[in-house]
Structure 1
Amino acid sequence: MSINCIRALIEKAAVACPDKVAVIDGSKKLTYADLFRKVNQIARYLSELALPSGSRIGIYSHKSSEQIIAMLALLSTEYIFVPISRLLKPEQVEHIINDCGMTCIITDKSKIKSIDEIKFSGKVVTYEASERDIVSFEEIYKCCSDAFTCNIGDYKNAAITYSFGLTGFPRGIVITHRNLIDSARVASNYLELKESDVISGTLPFILDYGLNQLFCSIYNHATLALHSLVLPSDFFNHLINDGVTVLPLMPPHITQMFESDPKRIPNAKLLANVRIVTSSGGKITPKMIADIEERYPSAKFYSMHGLTEAFRSTYLDPAQLKIRPNSIGKPIPGVEIHVINEQGLECQPREIGELIHRGGYIYKGYWKSKEDTQKRYKSIAILDKVVNLEGDLTDEIVVASGDFVYRDEEGYLYFVSRKDDMIKVSGFRISPYEIESVVHDKLPLIAQCAVFSIENEKTEEEIVMVYSAAREISKNEIVFELKKHLPNHMIPSIILHKEKLPQTSPSEAKIDKEVLKKMVMELR
């Protein structure tokens, strides 16, 4: 077995610190010895199913210690695990099952009805025993031996994670065992994680950022404390009661955390244990920075930028957060970032170009989608005007991210827009992100906003802004503020208020601009 796989980490932790608490799940605690024993039992049972090597097995359930065991058991076999958000609709789950050819699903009792609804014909395994003729973890623990060995190569496919694109149905990205261990190693390195850390398992285990919570915990022999972010009061109890020291979040979670009555937010002294807060997957606003600084006085705040096609590209050193709050930072260790213009040349400072990711942490590609893979995964030859390739093999793969960014004079990177999101008005190319940034910075009453375009015969495209806020704000008030900071051609002509903005998937916490665009078109 390769040392560069998660299985090797579990074995090592079970030997090095068997009595250390590995997982906190409410009142339930599992030591590394407990975890290893249960993982072996489930892995042994799954291997005895005698499915072909590389078979896709889904995990479709609520967050729990059993879900952790299921993931680690699958990563101990030659099967590929496919996390499925429990919040997805039946047709979306069915799409994932059919797209990857899933042969088995591990679930909890509450999801059996949903699986029946989509008429899944493969094998089903549940955590809890039920009246149905379905094998459960409870039965496996009673009957299966914990003697299990495996021989996994780090180059083998480990997981397929699905995220939403513009089509409305999620696309799968293939991740190897080496990818998972590398991402745990590099994040642990630049975050300076420790064995004494308690990492909050707040993010869902369906994408790499959420999965990395678990793998970083095992890599450092630390503790993972599970929690589902529902109410701010519950969330703060989790931080205090579980003694959380490392808190991974997404920007919408930071907003939700401080939406409740300020009197219900604990005194900063009670949150002093938190020494690291991380955020990825969206823009950090000045209010978020101020709230984190006020309530988490001991914490370093890391803003990070990742890609669908690679684990992570950049992070901003916490010391730079107030100096350049809008920056996505500099490359993480082991990564080389180039900003390329249309001529294939490296962009000058402040010149906007496409972010090209070279080096480590690049995933394998899109599952059964040659077109998507070829669009993003390119030969190193695209950098032939930038780097000296003499003697190099041009079969090295880099990621053409589709992200428009620029560097400042000190080399710090700034996100501008996704390539596909750019708006063209009267000959001007406009980034929705730039408008959204001004809204976040200058209109604090607005909780969230989405900027996009619809077709307009006179100006090519018409800029639309939809926002959520506690109350509707006068359009004139919004326009007046925006005109202080933006040229006239960047001012939205349509501004709409909604109590809540739709998300592509509740677990991904990304605003669904396609739904909003459809809504605007229906209003015209």
Structure 2
Amino acid sequence: MEIFTLADLLAVRAVTHGASPAVRHRGEALDYRGLSVLAEGAAAALAERGVEPGDRVAILLPNSLACLAWFFGAQRLGAVAVVVNDSLKAQQIEHIVRHSGAKAVVTGGRLRGLLGALAGEVPVLDAAVPDAPAGAIGRDRDGLLVPGNGGPTGRDLAALIYTSGSTGRPKGVMVTQANLVAGARIVADYLRLTPADRTLSLLPWSFDAGLNQVLATFWAGGTVVIGDAVFAPRICRELATERITGLAGVPPLWELLVNRPSPFLGLDLPDLRYVTNTGGALRTGTLARIRAAHPGTDVYLMYGLTEAFRSTYLPPELVDTHPDSIGRAVPDTEILVLDEHGRRCGPGETGELVHRGPTVAAGYWRDPEATARVFRPYPFTPEGAVTEYVVHSGDYVRRDEQGFLSYLGRRDEQFKSRGFRVNPTEIEAGLLASGLLSAAVVFADASGEPDPGIVAAVVPVDPAAFRPDDLAAHVRAHLPGYQQPDRFHVLETLPRTGSGKADRALIKAGYAGGPDAASAGASPKGRRP
């Protein structure tokens, strides 16, 4: 049976892997057949509340069996799922629900209280999934969903994934059924997933990488183990007791796992076949410690963007020789590096990463101007051919002679200081190479306009022993003058967006040059390369 939509995916797995565990959470488990039946109950409940194909359904729930059932219920009905991060504040939730034009909201418990006035404007369904009615349309005699029985097509919208909004109001990325199916297939392919895989799901499903992790596991017929631990010792216990084979994380998770009181580096995890990193660069020191502690575990370094899921990955066998690379294009994808005139960049030249392939989203919901800026026609389409759209990431990269890509930073984060164009990512990498920091974010000090200084918000590995003078000495020894920060803004932790990335806007807003901002020890006007 062919798979064109997410409803197809679950229906087919209910037939091919019906009794196999699909998802586990807090000791409770659902096999593929059980999840399929539960999803049909959710679809029927949505239909009873007036939800029709194409309507948006906001799902305000933590990662859970119920959240998964409602997500697939929306897919079965042909509705558009909007998974809302349960860590968001009421104002952010209101924006997403209103902007998406949600026809219904599914929530429960304390989260219901975050809806405020919305509860009286939009139908609210309780998180508990009702049983499917007898003889429901689209089910066979065994109670399984039937693929392609009057449901959505691959071109229909499956979800709106709202960006983290760290640099402004979040935008709703329009993701089609075909996008999600292709993303699941591609990632399952290069991770070599099988039915024996047991994936620990810690990333929120409102985040494209978190959702893709679940769907790729289902593509392979494996098991998703939902983790809700936030402390390293408990995460490690789940890795061991659930015999997890795969774990996806973002840099803050890996920093949590390699530092005290985490037992991760000393724990025997013979089942852990692979780990992946996305959402930012993994510190070289952290990568080395993971590799040394778990030499039998493959490490995949990846790069992606919400508008196209995964774009590149570095095969595990190349991690030791290319630790600073984001790799090459994922399967069935072309990654272009284009200059400001739209021409292909040669090896060693800096340009914008442009993604071409089946995971390119349909644009931004209710934002045609932003869609036109980011989703543009493929510049090398043969004359007379159908127009194909690609994603302009806004990220600068460089490709070497072997075709490996290096991430250089975002176009909208660069600024001029002391007459030079400053790339924050390069400075952050230099700071992290000191071994004194677990995180760093560099930005311009706007108070110094028209020639802004450089501020580095830093999180020490050992706050008690940290001395700004030691970091300043490292900077003077390893960074050219025009890249050396003027001030260090020392923090205990970096504020994060819902997807785990550093919230740059909040970090900048919190910087006031107060007592926690230490001088880097040199005159900004006196430094030159």
| Residues 390-409 of structure 1 aligned to structure 2 (within 5 Å) | 390-393=382-385, 395-409=387-401
Task: Give deviations 1:349-394, integer Å, cap 9, x for gaps.
Answer: 222111111222100111111121111111123xxxxx4x443536
Supply the distance in 1 between the matched residues of 2:495 and 2:450 (Cα, whole angstroms). Answer: 27
RMSD across aligned positions (CA): 2.0
**Residues 394/429 of structure 1: CA separation in 2 closer, same or farther (3 Å cut):** farther
Equivalent in the alignment of 2:22:
22
CA distance change for structure 1 residues 119 and 23 in 2, over 3 Å: closer, same or farther? Answer: closer
Q: 1:146/1:408 Cα in 2 relative to 1: closer, same or farther (>3 Å)?
A: farther
Matched, 1:452 2:450: no
Distance 2:51 2:77 in 1: 11
Matches of 1:207 and 1:491, distance apart in 2: 34
Q: Confirm whether residue 318 of structure 1 aligns to residue 316 of structure 2.
A: yes
What do residues 178-224 of structure 1 show as CA deviations (whole Å, max 9, x unaligned)? Answer: 11100000001111111111111111110221011221122111111
Q: Distance in 2 between matches of 1:230 and 1:330?
A: 32
| Structure 2 residue aligned with 1:490 | 483
d(CA) in 2 for partners of 1:124 and 1:118?
9
**Could you say if the C-alpha distance between residues 289 and 213 of structure 1 is closer, same or farther in structure 2, counting changes exceeding 3 Å?**
same
Mapped contact 1:465–1:494 kept (Cα < 8 A): yes
In the TM superposition, 1:307-456 aligns within 5 A as 307-381=305-379, 387=380, 389-393=381-385, 395-441=387-433, 443-455=434-446
Answer yes or no: is the 8 Å Cα contact 2:43–2:76 preserved in 1.
Answer: yes
The verdict on how the C-alpha distance between 1:327 and 1:447 changes in structure 2, with shifts beyond 3 A counting, is same
Unmatched 5+ residue regions in structure 1? Answer: 129-136, 382-386
Does the 8 Å contact 2:5/2:178 carry over to 1?
Answer: yes
Determine the structure 1 residue equivalent to 2:469.
476
**Shift of residue 437 of structure 1?**
0.7
Between stretches 366-375 and 37-46, larger displacement belongs to 37-46
Map Cα deviations across residues 90-146 of structure 1 (whole Å, 9 max, x no partner): 000001111111121111222122224654511111124xxxxxxxx2xx22x7337
Q: 2:165 is aligned with what amino acid?
A: G
Q: How far apart are 1:78 and its partner, in Å?
A: 1.6
> How many angstroms apart in 2 are the aligned matches of 1:267 and 1:433?
31
Cα offset for 1:47?
2.3
Q: Does 1:147 align with 2:139?
A: no
Unaligned runs of 5+ in 2: 139-149, 518-529
1:227 CA drift (Å): 0.2
Question: In structure 1, what is the Cα distance between the partners aligned to 2:111 and 2:445?
Answer: 39
Matched residue type, 2:491: K
Residue identity opposite 2:80 in structure 1: I
2-structure distance, mates of 1:194, 1:71: 23
Change (3 A) 1:175 1:2: farther
CA displacement, residues 235-277 of structure 1 (integer Å, 9 cap, x when unaligned): 0111111111011111111111122236x347443x1101011
Aligned to 1:275: 273
Q: CA distance change for structure 1 residues 196 and 458 in 2, over 3 Å: closer, same or farther?
A: closer
Kept in 1, the 8 Å contact 2:232–2:261? The answer is no
User: Does the CA-based 8 Å contact 1:201-1:213 persist in structure 2?
Assistant: yes
Where 1:243 maps in the other structure, the secondary structure is coil
Cα deviation per residue 1:63-101 (whole Å; 9 max; x = unaligned)? 211111111111111211101011100000001111111
Are the equivalent residues in 1 in contact too, given 2:161–2:306 (CA < 8 A)? Answer: no
SS in 1 for 2:361: coil
Please say if 1:234 is aligned against 2:234.
Answer: yes
* 1:243-262 map, 5 Å: 243-261=243-261
Aligned to 1:133: none
Q: In the TM superposition, what is the alpha-carbon distance from 1:169 to its structure 2 partner?
A: 2.5
Counterpart of 2:290 in 1: which secondary structure?
helix
Moved more, 476-485 or 221-230: 476-485
- Determine if contact 1:179/1:363 at 8 Å carries over to the other structure: yes
Q: Distance in 1 between matches of 2:170 and 2:81?
A: 16
Alignment-mate amino acid for residue 404 of structure 2: Y
Aligned equivalents of 1:218, 1:162: Cα separation in 2: 23
- Take 1:489 and 1:257, find their aligned partners in 2: how far apart are those partners? 34
Is the 8 Å Cα contact of residues 81 and 159 (structure 2) preserved in structure 1?
A: yes
Matched, 1:41 2:41: yes
Bigger CA drift: 109-118 or 306-315?
A: 109-118
**Is the aligned partner of 1:461 residue 2:452?**
yes
Match of 1:179 in 2: 179
Distance in 2, Cα, partners of 1:42 & 1:119: 20
What residue identity is the alignment partner of 1:476? Answer: D
CA distance in 2, matches of 1:41, 1:390: 48
Note the C-alpha offset of 1:42: 1.5
Distance in 1 separating the partners of 2:206 and 2:425:
26
User: 493, 502, 507: which is aligned to 2:495?
Assistant: 502
- Aligned position for 1:516: 507
Q: The residue matched to 2:35 in structure 1 has which SS?
A: helix
**What amino acid is aligned across from residue 394 of structure 2 in structure 1?**
G
Tell me how far apart the structure 2 counterparts of residues 299 and 457 of structure 1 sit (CA, whole Å): 47
Instruction: Specify the code of the residue in structure 2 equivalent to 1:493.
Output: D
1:187 match: secondary structure: helix
Q: Deviations over 1:392-442 (max 9, x none)?
A: 53621111111001011211100001010012113211110001111122x
Detail structure 1 runs of 4+ shifted over 4 Å in the superposition: 117-120, 456-459, 521-524
The Cα of 1:288 is off from its aligned counterpart by: 2.2
TM-aligned CA deviation for residue 165 of structure 1: 3.1
Stretch of structure 1 that moved more, 457-466 or 19-28: 457-466
Secondary structure, in 3 states, of the residue corresponding to 1:481? helix
What does residue 384 of structure 1 align with?
none
Describe the shift of the 1:390–1:275 C-alpha distance in structure 2 as closer, same or farther (beyond 3 A).
same
- What SS class does the counterpart of residue 70 from structure 1 fall into? helix
The one-letter code of the counterpart of 1:229 is: A
Partner of 1:220: 220
Is the alpha carbon distance of 1:29 and 1:458 closer, same or farther for their aligned partners in structure 2, counting shifts above 3 Å? closer
- Equivalent residue for 2:521? none
Measured at CA, do residues 238 and 457 of structure 1 come closer, stay the same or move farther in structure 2, by a change above 3 Å?
A: closer
1:4-153 matched pairs, under 5 angstroms: 4-116=4-116, 118-128=118-128, 137=129, 140-141=130-131, 144-145=133-134, 147-149=136-138, 150-153=150-153
Amino acid at match of 2:503: D
Q: Which amino acid aligns with 1:221?
A: G
CA contact (8 A) 1:453 1:463 kept: yes
**Kept in 1: contact 2:354–2:391 (CA 8 A):** yes
